[in-house]
Amino acid sequence: MARALCQGNRSYCTEHRFKSGSGELFTAQMAVCRVFTTARRTRRRHRQASWLLFVQVHLDWTPEQCRQRYRHRFGIETSYWMANKELGWTTSPNPALRFVLVGLGFVLLNLWVHLCWEFTQVARRGGRRLNTELFRQQRFINFLIPALERIYGCVTEITAPSVPLL
């Protein structure tokens, strides 16, 4: 499918037919966007073209609009994915508790980003460069665990109440 759509020298919109496992046909509007990798980001000498495919459902966007909107959405999804690493786990049906845990996850994520920005900068000419290998997110979480245990204590044993034998 992708090879048939990824042809030509420029981005375009088209219709494409998908066939389901049961044999039904579905027609969808597609935005086929031709993009180029930058030599600076990939450390290649020559830029290379690649293709991005977007299925449009009730949208009338150009391929470039699809690409820009998806880039914005990708940033949002990434921040949720990273915040989920720091969320407290609960089975509580209480939405207020769940909301507090999500908010706390984002606060911790923003704190980690700020600490990376402050302490992992590499001296060089030009714009800032961060060496995030020095302070990964998992290391930040590993720093938090003993601090929380010192403040709130750590449960090391559970004793069951004894029931008198009959």
DSSP 86: T
Average pLDDT value for residue range 81-90:
68
pLDDT at position 85 is 67
Q: Which amino acid would we find at residue 98?
A: R
pTM of the model as a whole: 0.47
| Rg of the Cα atoms in the chain | 25
- The CB density around residue 91, as the number of other CB atoms within 10 Å, is 4
What confidence tens digit (pLDDT) does each residue in 114-164 have?
Answer: 998 888 888 888 777 888 888 888 899 899 889 989 998 888 888 888 777
Q: What is the mean pLDDT of the chain?
A: 81
The pLDDT of residue 159: 84
Residue 79 CB: number of other CB atoms within 10 A? 14
CA angle (117, 118, 120) in 5-degree steps = 70
**What's the pLDDT score for residue 41?**
62
* Bridge partners, 54 (sequence order): 31
The pLDDT of residue 42 is above 80: no
